Amino acid sequence: MALVAAFASGLFLCGCATDDPPSLSEIKAFRAYPVYYSGDSVAGHSLNEVLGDPAKYEDERDAAWVLIYGKCEDPPDEGGCPYPLQIHNHSTCSRWASQLDRNHRLFDFHGAKAARLFQGGGAAWEIFTGRTTVAISAIDRHILLSAARSLRTVQRDYPSPLPPPAPGSLDGELPCQDQS
C-alpha cells in the first residue's frame, strides 16, 4: 500500500519547467535498464521535463527516471497541482508486481503485464516489461491510455510491442530484488 501512496503523491509533483524541450541525451546514454516514454507529446501535452540522476546511486538500477508532460493548469497551492501526465521508470530490481496490494490483478498489455491503480480523480497503471517497471499517472483515463499505447524506449522513434516481464521479476525472484 505504501507503493500506491508514494506513486499517487508523485502525480502532484510540481516544478518549474522552461519552454525549451528537454534533452534526452542523458537518459538515452543510461544502460542499467531500458527507459520508456511516449514520444514528444501525448494528447496535446508536450514533454516538459526529464528528471533523474543515476550518478547519485551506488547501483544505477536504483535510479528512477521521471518524464513530465504538460504544465500545471492552476497556480500551485500548498499541495501543488497535478501535471497532466507523468511516466516513471524503475528497474524491476527496485519495483515489481508482487509489491502491489493483492487487490491489483495483472492483465496483458502489448506483450507486457500491467495493473490498474486507483487514486483520487486521476488514473494510474504500472506496466511490467522486461527489466523495467513503467508507472504512468495521468489526470484522466484518456491521457493515460494514449500514453500507454505510445510507449517505446527512448532510443526508438515509434511505439512497438513491449517485451514480457523478465522471468521471475513479477514475484520478486530475481537475485537483485531484495525482499527484506
For the cut 60, the answer to whether the pLDDT of residue 2 exceeds it is: no
DSSP sequence for 32-76: SS--EE--SEETTEEEEEEE--GGGSSSGGG--EEEEES--SS--
Which single residue is written with the C-alpha cell 511490467?
Answer: 128
- For residue 32, CA distances in Å to 91, 93, 130, 132 come to 8, 10, 12, 10
**pLDDT, tens only, 41-97:** 999 999 999 999 888 888 899 999 999 999 876 655 556 678 899 999 999 999 999
Q: What is residue 82's predicted lDDT score, i.e. its pLDDT?
A: 80
- For residues 122 and 17, which has the higher predicted lDDT (pLDDT)? 122
Amino acid at 121: G
| Confidence (pTM) | 0.85
What does the domain layout of the chain look like in residue ranges? 2-13+25-153
CB atoms within 10 A of CB 143: 23
CA distance 22 to 17: 9
Spell 121-141 as b/e; 16+ CB within 10 A means b. ebbbbbbbbbbbbbbbbbbee
Burial of 152 (C-beta count, 10 Å sphere; 0-12/13-18/19+):
middle
